[in-house]
Structure 1
């Protein structure tokens, strides 16, 4: 599955009301650590059809970033049944990101 661009306009449909767990990557184009995590997120999206993966550009979606109290990026948030299940901040290994989904 490909990575979705999540905005406040599609958040409810793609994330809140999703029947699958959702992994959200809060990032920005100027963020070095975000660039390190991005290929890992893309890989997870390709390899795991049972989860939905979305990216939220914090510069364009500051309201969503605020809703999730994102202070540092990259911030990864796992949402299950419309509720936050797990959160982590900073560069993570693929293995650690996959553990967040458990």
Structure 2
């Protein structure tokens, strides 16, 4: 997922992307209920707005990030 998300982050200037290593930040993974890798969590106005679990191609990541 890393290369796909990196590519999308370069295309979407209005969206901030963050990568979290769940082994290095287990408390954050627990806070967001991450049980499978990869998981993308979309946060809008401080609230979870959407969630995607599993690999997604570039176009789906763009749709997810702009939903």
For this structure pair, what is the TM-score category when the shorter chain's length is used for normalisation? Answer: over 0.9
Distance 1:89 1:66 in 2: 15
* 1:97 equivalent in alignment to 2:54: no
Aligned match of 2:42? 78
Secondary structure of the structure 1 residue equivalent to 2:50: strand
Q: Which has the higher strand share?
A: 1
**Number of residue pairs aligned between Structure 1 and Structure 2:** 66
Q: What 5-or-longer segments of structure 1 have no aligned partner?
A: 1-36
Q: What 5-or-longer segments of structure 2 have no aligned partner?
A: none
Aligned match of 2:25? 61
* 1:51 equivalent in alignment to 2:1: no
Q: Please list every run of at least 4 consecutive aligned residues from structure 1 whose deviation after the TM superposition is greater than 6 angstroms.
A: none
**TM-score of the two chains, using structure 2 as the length reference:** 0.92
- What is the CA RMSD across the aligned residues, in angstroms? 0.8
